Structure 1
Amino acid sequence: MKSKPILKPLHEQTVVITGASSGIGLVTARRLAQHGAKVVLAARNETALKDLTEELQHKGCQAIYVVTDVGNEKDVQQLAKTAIKHFGGFDTWINNAAVSIYGKVEQVSIEDQRRLWDTNYWGVVYGSRIACEHLRVHGGKLINIGSALSERAIPIQGIYSASKAAVMGITDALRMELEQERAPISVTLIKPGAIDTPYKEHAANYLDTEGQNPPPVYAPDTVADAILHACTTDVRDVVVGAGGKALTTLGNVAPRLMDLTMSRLMPYLQRTNKPSLGVSKGSLYEPQQDGQERSDYPFVLERSLYTDLVHHKAATAAMTVLTTAALIYGTGKALENRTRRLSKRLPLPTRSRQP
C-alpha cells in the first residue's frame, strides 16, 4: 500500500494552477481564494494575470502570478521555483492549460497539431514531473484536467481528443508508478464534458463557420467544484456532467453504434450559422483576450446532478444506468426515425425468383 498522502484543508494550502487567465482556471482560482488558499497563477497573458492577482489580493488572498507557456519546460520549472521561493512550497498542482482546434485530422497542418500537443500533452507531462519532485518529499496533490473526450473521440476535434486521451494515459500510468513506490502523492484526473468557457473563441478554426461544442453544456463552476473537492480528497478521477459520462459509457458498450451516430451528428453540432473569416490560429501561438469565465451558449446547465452525487457509490451507479439508458433510447429512436424516412424515399430491393 502507498503512503497515504496528507491533503490539507483548502485554507492551509498553496495551490499552483496553469491556464488561470480564463474559463475553468479563472473560476477555480477565484473559488480557491474564497476558501482561503494561497494561489500561484500561471498563463501566457500577463495583463490578465496581473489583473486577477490584484483582484484576489484586494480581497485578502495571498496570490502571485508567473507568466508561463506550459509547452516550454523551462517556463514550468520557473513556475515551481517561484512558488517554492515565495510560499515555501505548494500542496496542490493543477495542470489545466489547454488549447483546441476545430478541423479534420487531414485538414489541420502538422505544425498546428504539434503546437496543440506542446500545450495539452507536454504541458501536463512537464507540470506533473516537476510537481512530483516537490510533492514526493512534502506530500500533496496532483490534478490533471483531461476531458470526456479522453475516452471517446469526436470528429472535427480529433487532435484535441487524441491529446486528452494521452493525458488520461500518462496520468493513469503515473498514478500507478507513484503507488508502486508508495509516494505520498494523490493523483486525480478531471474529465469535463462541454463547458461554457471561452473555449470556442480561443480554439484554432479550420471550418467555414465558427465552431461550438455540442450540448449539453455545463457551467465552469461545475468543474471548479470537482477540482476543489479533489484538492482535499484522494479521488482517482471525476467526470463532470452526465452528458460526458453517458457518452463514454455508451461508447464502451456500443462503440460501432456511437461511431455511426457521431459521424452523422457531430460535424453539424460543432458548427454555427455564422461564417468564419478563414483559418484562424486562435490561442495556439499567442494568448487571446482573457479575463472571461464564460462564453455565450444560450442554454447552460448550472449544476451537474451526476457530479454532485458522484462520490456516493450507489447514486453514481444509478445515475450511470439512467443516463446511459436514456442516451441509448434516444439514439435508437433517432436512427429508427432516420431509417423510416429513408425507406420512404428509396425503393426496397427485391429478391429475384429462382426459375
Structure 2
Amino acid sequence: MVPSRWPHASVGDYGRLSSVGNARLPKTLGLTQKRMPHLGSLRCWFIIIQQTLEDCEMLSMRDIAGQRILITGASSGIGAALAQNLARQGARVIVSARRQDRLQSVVQNLQQEGLVAHMVPMDVRDPDQVTASVPQAAQIFGGLDILINNAGIAYFGEVSSISPTSLKDLIDTNIYGVIYTTQSAVSYLAESHGMVVNLSSTLSKRALPLLTLYAGTKSMVNALSDGLRVELRHYSIHVLNYCAPETETELHDNSLHDSNHPLPSPRRHRAAPDVVARHIIRAIRQERREVVANAGFVWMARLMPNVVDTIAYRRIMLPYWREPPHHSGS
C-alpha cells in the first residue's frame, strides 16, 4: 500500500521515505523544488519506479577494491583506460594483449602510481595460448573475480571484398577470442561468484555499411552474453554486455580494410576511452545486464529503419564509391 502522504509529498520527503538513506531525485528531472504530482499520473509512477531501481542498484553495488580482474586487449584504448581506472579504485589488475612492449608500458605506468598491476601476454585467437595464459593470470592473485573480454579488431569495407584471411582474423579475434577466454576463466569465476564483461558495440544493434562484418561479429558477442548469462547462473556468475560507442582508440587505425580503398577519416566527435571506461566500471559496480551507449541511434533505427538506410547510403556509401580506388602495385 502506498502511504497516503505520497501524493502531496515533496521531493525531500520522498527522499526520506526511500530505502537508502536520504536519497534524492536527479536534478535532471527538473523536480528539485516541485511537489510530487498525484499518484494517478504517469509522471509520478515513473519517478517512483526510477527511484526504486536506483535504490536497488545502490544496495547491490559491487565493490571494486580488491577485485582480481583480467582484461584482454589492454595494451591501449578502452582496455588500458579500464586497467588504469580499476587499479585506481583498488582493483588488482592483470592486463593481457599481443603487444608485449605496450603491455609493459601500461603496467609500469600503473606501478609507478603505486597501483597493483601485472601482465600476461596472450593472443586470444590461439586456444592453446589462452588455455595456458588464463591459469597463469589466475595464479598471480590466487583466482579471478572479473574477466573483461575487450580484445577486438575491426574491418572496414564491403562484404564482397574481404579476403578469407582477413575474415578469419576478424572472427578469430572478436568471436573465438571471447569464447576461448571465457571457457578458460569459468572455473575461477565460479569459485569467486564473479563476473564476465563482454565488450560489444552499438553497431551490433544496427549495422552500418562498410562495418557490416564487424557489426556481425559483435552481434554474436551479444548472443553469447545472453546465453552465457543463463548458463552461468548456476555458478552465480554475472554477465554484463556493454555495447560501446565509437571511441577514440587505435581500433580505427589498425582496422583491416579493403586495400583498394583507403580508410576514411574517423568521425570528429568520438568518445574518449577514459569516459567509456568509467561508464563500464559503473555498470560493473551496478551489476547491470546490458548497457547500450548511443541508445538514441538504436531506437531511431528501430522506429525509422528506412530513414537510417537512406542516411547511411548518402553519407557513407556515396562518398565511398566516389573515392577513386587505390590499386595495389600501381
TM bucket, shorter chain: 0.7 to 0.9
Counterparts of 1:1-355 in structure 2 under 5 Å?
8-179=62-233, 181=234, 183-206=235-258, 208-214=261-267, 216-240=269-293, 244-267=294-317
Alpha-carbon distance, 1:133 to partner: 2.2
> Could you tell me which amino acid in structure 1 is paired with residue 86 of structure 2?
L
Question: Secondary structure at the residue paired with 2:252?
Answer: helix
The CA deviation string for residues 288-328 of structure 1, in whole angstroms up to 9 with x for no partner, is xxxxxxxxxxxxxxxxxxxxxxxxxxxxxxxxxxxxxxxxx
Structure 1 residues 114, 13: closer, same or farther in 2, change over 3 A? same
Question: Secondary structure at the residue paired with 2:160?
Answer: coil
Question: Secondary structure at the residue paired with 1:106?
Answer: helix
76-85 vs 47-56, which moves further = 76-85
TM-score by length of 2: 0.75
Aligned residue pair count: 268
Structure 1 residues 213, 162: closer, same or farther in 2, change over 3 A? farther
Question: Secondary structure at the residue paired with 1:247?
Answer: helix
Structure 1 residues 238, 100: closer, same or farther in 2, change over 3 A? same
The CA deviation string for residues 71-118 of structure 1, in whole angstroms up to 9 with x for no partner, is 112222223211221110111110000001111000111221111110
What is the alpha-carbon distance in structure 2 between the residues aligned to residue 196 and residue 75 of structure 1?
29
> Could you tell me which amino acid in structure 1 is paired with residue 313 of structure 2?
S
Alpha-carbon distance, 1:203 to partner: 0.7
What is the alpha-carbon distance in structure 2 between the residues aligned to residue 91 and residue 114 of structure 1?
31
Contact 2:62 2:287 in 1 (8 A): no
Structure 1 residues 165, 255: closer, same or farther in 2, change over 3 A? same
Structure 1 residues 271, 230: closer, same or farther in 2, change over 3 A? farther
Question: Secondary structure at the residue paired with 2:277?
Answer: helix
What is the alpha-carbon distance in structure 2 between the residues aligned to residue 33 and residue 112 of structure 1?
35
What is the alpha-carbon distance in structure 2 between the residues aligned to residue 202 and residue 189 of structure 1?
24
Gaps of 5+ in 2: 1-59
Alpha-carbon distance, 1:211 to partner: 2.5
What is the alpha-carbon distance in structure 1 between the residues aligned to residue 245 and residue 144 of structure 2?
28
Question: Secondary structure at the residue paired with 1:97?
Answer: coil
Question: Secondary structure at the residue paired with 2:312?
Answer: helix
> Could you tell me which amino acid in structure 1 is paired with residue 316 of structure 2?
M
> Could you tell me which amino acid in structure 2 is paired with residue 233 of structure 1?
Q
What is the alpha-carbon distance in structure 2 between the residues aligned to residue 123 and residue 65 of structure 1?
18
85-94 vs 252-261, which moves further = 252-261
Contact 2:157 2:211 in 1 (8 A): yes
Alpha-carbon distance, 1:264 to partner: 2.2
What is the alpha-carbon distance in structure 2 between the residues aligned to residue 269 and residue 217 of structure 1?
20
> Could you tell me which amino acid in structure 1 is paired with residue 214 of structure 2?
Y
What is the alpha-carbon distance in structure 2 between the residues aligned to residue 10 and residue 270 of structure 1?
45
Give the number of the structure with larger relative contact order, counting CA–CA contacts within 8 Å between residues 6 or more apart. Answer: 1
259-268 vs 85-94, which moves further = 259-268
Contact 1:205 1:211 in 2 (8 A): no
Alpha-carbon distance, 1:130 to partner: 2.1
Structure 1 residues 203, 272: closer, same or farther in 2, change over 3 A? farther
What is the alpha-carbon distance in structure 2 between the residues aligned to residue 216 and residue 169 of structure 1?
29
